[in-house]
Copies of this chain bind each other. A is one copy, B any other.
């Protein structure tokens, strides 16, 4: 371990212990954020007169060089914060660089860095997820008339359309998007100025660093500010929830591209072959998405278990929690993008879908409903008559239905108005589907829902753009202030 923190207080640490305690390899995630936080803190310290303008100028210039060198050129310390300070001191002397950490602690510093970085991840993920929703809606538009079997229990149930099916996913992903947006609210708030946990005797200006860093507000209580990791749990939960939906899409892509289903062909770009079976074309990307769902559950469990029962305020356990967040974010972002690409490039086998749409007596419910409407019998009775038909594996002729009805209820349905035409109408999937409005596969209704989904998506994108603008404006402001400070010297 480096000496910057320990040298006066503790004897040195063996290499294996330093390797155990150091977070430097995962700190790559927050290296840039740390430099940004340093800059905002320095600008504020100078504005408040806590450090001198020329000191600030020298430090800011040195930080540019440190940033250019990247994390790989930092000296060995137990984390990126200590390493940057150590490098800074070695460049500009302790008398200058030793003043940067005035009025703060690594506790508020790291919490700020994690929030800044997670904010960026959330913004990127929302952008990608909006694209995926767009892809689903675009393909739904193409397939409002594409018949396919609808499933419950992986069994043919009733016919539907591919548009209706794809919109089910679009609807679910819309809620995932809203969760990310809500998580953003509780992420983009500033812990900076909380110091170790008790604030500081230096008169730091928390509102100013909040503004310079593009946060939407400060976390008022300083102990809460450094010890809270609920925002990480919330984002990891939203990722796992979203990945559950992506795993469902992936599972369907795998199923649909099997030779037994043969509903789609996955584009070569998203497929692999075998090292010994040269004919194979495997849905590897979809399988990995399905697998990565498990990795996000793992990450969520990691953060939850690690943060269980920790007393106030900062505990080193928290260091172990953060990498799980980055792991989940990485899995999820890439999976969103891959899903969009895979759906956008798949080939749909429409004839096969249509052929399968009506196998397995898929119109049974329509027939039962028709018996209800035509003959006025109770739904449960109609359900049993048609159930008996299914059991007998008989063609649904008027004669057979009458026979069953007679044995079951004592009367013929042809006496209540049933005729062959009514039966054959009920068994026509296209007309059946047209009757299923109110969120069902009826093409007109699907178009109605598409319009609603597009409107929601547009609103989401406007709000997303506003958030990005707020962050970018802050970045611009900080840059200008930093340049001004550098020229003070």
Contact = CB atoms under 8 A, between A and B. Distances in A.
Interface residues of A, number: 205
A428 to B, nearest CB: 12
A464 interface: no
Which of A193, A280, A310, A364 lies at the interface centre, i.e. has the most chain B CB atoms within 10 A of its CB? A280
Interface string A349-380: 00000001001111011101110110001111
Given A319-B288, A384-B8, A201 B280 contact: no
B237 A241 contact: yes
B276 A383 contact: yes
Which of A89, A194, A230, A370 lies at the interface centre, i.e. has the most chain B CB atoms within 10 A of its CB? A230
Interface string A440-455: 1110010001001100
A301 interface: yes
B436 A199 contact: yes
A366 B201 contact: yes
Q: How many copies does the complex hold?
A: 4
Given A320-B292, A380-B89, A277 B98 contact: no
A247 B308 CA distance: 6
Which of A1, A13, A198 lies at the interface centre, i.e. has the most chain B CB atoms within 10 A of its CB? A198
Nearest to A408: B8
B293 A297 contact: no
A147 B282 CA distance: 22
Interface in A322-361: 324, 334, 337-338, 341, 356, 359-361
B313 A278 contact: no
A406 interface: no
A259 B156 contact: yes
